[in-house]
Amino acid sequence: MSLTTYNFPTKIRFGPGACAELAETLKDTGIQRPMLVTDKDIAELPWFSRIEGLLKDFDAQTFNGVWGNPVVSQVEAGVAAYQQHSADGIVAVGGGAPMDVAKAIALLANHPGHLFDYQDEASTRPIDQPIPPIVAIPTTAGTGSEVGRSAVISDDETHAKKIIFDPQLLPKVVLADPKLLLGLPAGITAATGMDALTHLIEAFLAKGSNPLCDGIALEGIYLVSQHLKDSVSFARQMAAGESPDQAAHLRARAGMLNASMMGAIAFQKGLGVTHSCAHALSTIHNTHHGLANGVMLPAAMRFNLEAAPDKFLRMARIVEPAAKSGEALIDWIVELSQAVGLPSSLHALGVSEDSVEKLVGVAIADACHPFNPKPVNKEDFYAIYRDALAA
């Protein structure tokens, strides 16, 4: 038996109204000149100006130069803004993209050179200076980046995704307020929710031993089974001009916000082949990360089933107590994905057979699949993509 480490250190204030505690949270964290990092769309929402309004006693500034899949040039613009403001900490508001850009800005605030000099497992410079504190306010239920210690940033030209990792990148406090999710459109709710589900399933299946993560993953899968469909249908009702029951809507969003953080906590154990396939889709086709995971998940799990039938059965019984085999989990994923309106195949997503060779080339070099419960070679990637094309 080998030695291992279990890490669950983040302080999370969870519940409706949590973000109203921002000012006292900054005081407790010792931040006096915060820079808010968010994306263009969030910066225009009415509740965002209310968050800015909470900081009237601070010398605060907003950087909203984040959009789409985050790239290095956005980080560099953010570092310039951070230094110009002489900021001493960051408030990250948003989904995975602003969170990851905020972490990368924090890293470069006191470290010279190019962001990719600090790439995980390929770094050419040490991370040996203090990293300014980050307070995170998540506004989607998907990546869970607010409880993670890594940032994924792409090269502007090649779109290749690089991972930056350091324990100091972990936000000091998370203000997890499900109210901020009430206005999320159905498409984003579905795609980010499927990302959270993929984290939970892949973490549970990942090689290595971490029973704490496994327990968190199973409860997270239960929460997704209880709350993702409802979150999407409430979003559809809002889009149709109806006013859904606010308490029920809030319960669904809170369930998914918890599930999303649980996914990111669990995947410190590792991810797997679904994420390698999805990263390649984002690199080649600029596909939304959660959407890519959701579309790949059934084919990837059909590939994995024989490697871990007992674990599949345990997950299946969470979502379908009478399940007799692990295949029931895959049937449930397909049904869920349809119910929340995801495309049923890569074809439906606009990807064709012509792309497969390129996708395989990127996926095989990705850092996630070495944790997959079953080894994955080039031929396997071809087979998984072709399965997902036709599904």
Interface positions with Zn ion (CB under 5 A): 195
Paired tokens of 35: 């820079």
Q: CB of 289: closest distance to Zn ion in angstroms? A: 6
Residue 293 Cβ vs Zn ion, minimum distance, rounded to whole Å: 6
Rounded to whole angstroms, the Cα distance separating 89 from 266 reads 27
CA dihedral (375, 377, 381, 383) in degrees, to 10, reads -90
Rounded least distance, CB 143 to Zn ion, Å: 6
**Taking the complex as a whole, how short is the minimal distance between the CB of residue 53 and Zn ion, in angstroms?**
33
344 token code pair: 């049923």
Nearer to Zn ion, 272 or 326 (CB): 272
* Two tokens, residue 115: 């962001």
Q: What is the pairing mode between strands 134-138 and 173-176?
A: parallel
Q: Closest CB to Zn ion among 37 and 200? A: 200
Residue closer to Zn ion by CB (options 34, 290) is 290
CB of 202 to Zn ion, least distance (A): 8
* Cβ nearer to Zn ion, comparing 170 with 281: 281
At position 337, the amino acid (one-letter code) is S
- The count of other CB atoms within 10 Å of the CB of residue 248 is 11
Percent helix, percent strand, percent coil in the chain, to nearest 5:
55, 10, 30
- Cβ–Cβ under 8 Å, residues 213 and 171: no
CB of 267 to Zn ion, least distance (A): 8
Structure tokens at 273: 């082949």
Nearer to Zn ion, 166 or 195 (CB): 195
Please report, as a single letter, which amino acid is at residue 8: F
**Which CB, 195 or 380, lies closer to Zn ion?**
195
